[in-house]
Structure 1
Amino acid sequence: MTTAVLIHGFSGSPASWRRVEALLDAPSHALAVCGHGGETWPAISRGPASFEAEVDRLGAVVRAEVPPPRGVVGYSLGGRLALGLLVRHPDLFLGAALIGANPGIGGEDARVARRRDDERWARLIEEEGLAAFDSEWSALPLFASQHDLDAGRLAEQRRTRLRHDPAALGAAMRVLGLGAMPDYRPALRDVACPVELIVGGLDTKFEALARQMAETLPNAAVHVVEGAGHNVLLEAPAELARLLNATLGKVDRDNRS
């Protein structure tokens, strides 16, 4: 049976997948992204050297800890890292699901502007602390749909963010942010495995990105989770698990044929 390798988003943790994992038919293995860590999950407190260094580190962890067959599932930052794995380590996975993922930005002016924005976030984390970061991050329009969630889920997300080390998380923002990520758009045509692109129906920006990616990826489908925003795994874990069960089941069937 195909194992789902799960990669969380920025300021999340392996535990961010808890509600989804409980509903998966397949075995799963949630990874901790470098620069993220805390007392209640494997601490990865050292900041990564570069985006692709982190991609390669995660690839080495997968090879060592997760026997094949495997599928990779990544949310937001985790989706960008998962895409990096598909590009740099194409032999690792038989399929993928990218949730709210950006394939990269081109043009030096746009990249410089994004790095400035990432630097502002990194300094906020380091100088004002995790509570200030959580308040400002949660207020982004990207996450507006989360305001309708129950208080328990939002409190759990906040506790996860506050367990990080500010210096490590700030370093992660600098080297894993979109401004530091390679532009993988030209490489999409070389991704051979099937890729499911999952977005929330309220996340119009990332739905547009997913549809653009699907035009270049050789074997891709877009799935829209109605009523959800950017963070589908937090807002609609049952529907996400249903989609992942279908995806991983198809990978299993194709692998047997």
Structure 2
Amino acid sequence: MANEVLKKGGEVTSEVWGETRGFDFEGMRFGVKAWRASASGARKGGVLSAPIVLVHGFAQQASTWDKVALSLSRTGVECFAFELAGHGKSARPTVGDVPGREAFDLDFQAQALLAFCEAVTHVAGRLPVLVGYSMGGRVALQAACLAADDLRDGGELNRISLRSSAAFAPCDRARRLDVAGACQQDVTANAARMSAAVPFSALVLESAGLGPADAASRGALRERNFAWAARVRGEGVSAFMSWWEALPLFESQRNLDDDQRERLRAGRLANDTESLALSFERAGAHAMSSQGESIRMLCELAAKGIPVSYLAGELDAKYCKVLADLRADSHDAVSCQAVPCAGHNIHLERPEAFGAILEEVVESCTPKPAAP
């Protein structure tokens, strides 16, 4: 199933295992990487596991998920990594046909992510578990807020689907797709198993902010993010990243081995100046829904039977505080877990522990096989 991704124009083509391809949304190309589920890890009774959609952090690419995704695929779980605007194989502002600065807007990327989750559902046959790390968690959270708004309004399920110029094939993967027609048919066919406007079965946030607490906080975050954008434009990527990786937030990453640190830095340096600057300006924390709105939305999703989990590394004091506040404010509606011996990037620093947590979430979202 994951060996097929959609290319521009709606054509479904075969993919080499792990190869990055594209997903088009309103003229913007987003990079996608897929890991097929191992046949040896298939579940008894032929039950399909819920797939996973993974969204990386600032200045990262889909490859940041390689270790976790490969491990999960061997247990029978399909994984799809979605690359944010200007990152990885996604279009950058210097490429001719990119729609412009608006493609970096938090809401635009959140809408594209919702469309991608629906596309994964069409091809995988199950609603995916949506996982977002740091900036990717911010986009995933904003996507959940948009979906929750639709849920309150009665669930306009096809609002997102029909805006995408590309989707995964629902059944016959050898033919071209009539995207609008296929999506419309799937809306009807999948109505019973889709949770209204929410195209994912669970939400996992890893070290993600929850939005500004108030107007003053929003203003301060905006000022900080625009200053960071000016800094990366003024200093260039290499000098900026030398400063960035020395922030206290990433102190625990100094314990990684040399090879891991080199790959991490190489990934950061693969970015271009303008994409990073626009990510700060257009998709920074100042652009999020308010913290109160985010927490109310997470509680609403949990009440609708969509599990919500929040993960922070025990060595990450800043986001452990976010975790503790969320646990209290959600009255335990959100599952909150601090992961031992990990800092800000849990899936990099503790991939086995992170993968085990995702396996539990997938298991909770996967129907049990029928009794013989």
- In the superposition, the TM-score normalised over structure 1's length comes to 0.91
Q: Does 1:54 align with 2:109?
A: yes
Q: Counterparts of 1:103 and 1:123 in 2: how far apart (Å)?
A: 24
Shift of 1:49: 4.7
CA contact (8 A) 1:188 1:213 kept: no
Aligned AA (2:222): R
1:187 aligns with one of 278, 297, 301: 297
Shift of 1:155: 0.9
Q: Does 1:252 align with 2:299?
A: no
Q: Does 1:112 align with 2:219?
A: yes
Aligned AA (1:199): A
Secondary structure of the corresponding residue to residue 139 of structure 1: coil
Shift of 1:106: 2.4
Aligned AA (1:240): F
1:29 aligns with one of 73, 80, 83: 80
Matched length: 253
> What corresponds to 1:165 in structure 2?
272
Q: Does 1:20 align with 2:127?
A: no
Shift of 1:28: 0.4
The alpha-carbon distance between structure 1 residues 173 and 254, as it changes in their structure 2 partners (threshold 3 A), is farther
> What corresponds to 1:87 in structure 2?
145
- In the superposition, the TM-score normalised over structure 2's length comes to 0.64
Q: Which has the larger radius of gyration?
A: 2
Aligned-residue sequence identity (percent) comes to 29
CA contact (8 A) 2:69 2:79 kept: yes
Q: Counterparts of 2:133 and 2:286 in 1: how far apart (Å)?
A: 18
Q: Counterparts of 1:211 and 1:140 in 2: how far apart (Å)?
A: 22
2:312 aligns with one of 199, 220, 230: 199
> What corresponds to 1:238 in structure 2?
352
Q: Does 1:44 align with 2:151?
A: no
What do residues 24-80 of structure 1 show as CA deviations (whole Å, max 9, x unaligned)? 13110000011313xxxx233144352112101221223234533211011111112
Q: Counterparts of 1:70 and 1:64 in 2: how far apart (Å)?
A: 10
Shift of 1:15: 0.7
Q: Counterparts of 1:254 and 1:111 in 2: how far apart (Å)?
A: 45
- Which structure carries more helix by proportion? 1
Secondary structure of the corresponding residue to residue 23 of structure 1: helix
What do residues 204-237 of structure 1 show as CA deviations (whole Å, max 9, x unaligned)? 2212212322344474211221111111111111
- For structure 2, which runs of at least 5 residues remain unmatched after alignment? 1-48, 94-100, 149-197
Is the deviation greater in 14-23 or in 45-54?
45-54
Q: Counterparts of 2:132 and 2:263 in 1: how far apart (Å)?
A: 20
Q: Counterparts of 1:254 and 1:167 in 2: how far apart (Å)?
A: 48
Pick 1 or 2: higher relative contact order, CA cutoff 8 A, min separation 6: 1
Q: Counterparts of 1:187 and 1:220 in 2: how far apart (Å)?
A: 11
CA contact (8 A) 1:101 1:210 kept: no
Q: Counterparts of 2:135 and 2:90 in 1: how far apart (Å)?
A: 18
Q: Counterparts of 1:201 and 1:135 in 2: how far apart (Å)?
A: 24
Q: Counterparts of 2:324 and 2:130 in 1: how far apart (Å)?
A: 20
> What corresponds to 2:341 in structure 1?
227
Q: Does 1:210 align with 2:210?
A: no
CA contact (8 A) 2:121 2:199 kept: no
The alpha-carbon distance between structure 1 residues 81 and 13, as it changes in their structure 2 partners (threshold 3 A), is same
Secondary structure of the corresponding residue to residue 179 of structure 1: helix
- For structure 1, which runs of at least 5 residues remain unmatched after alignment? none
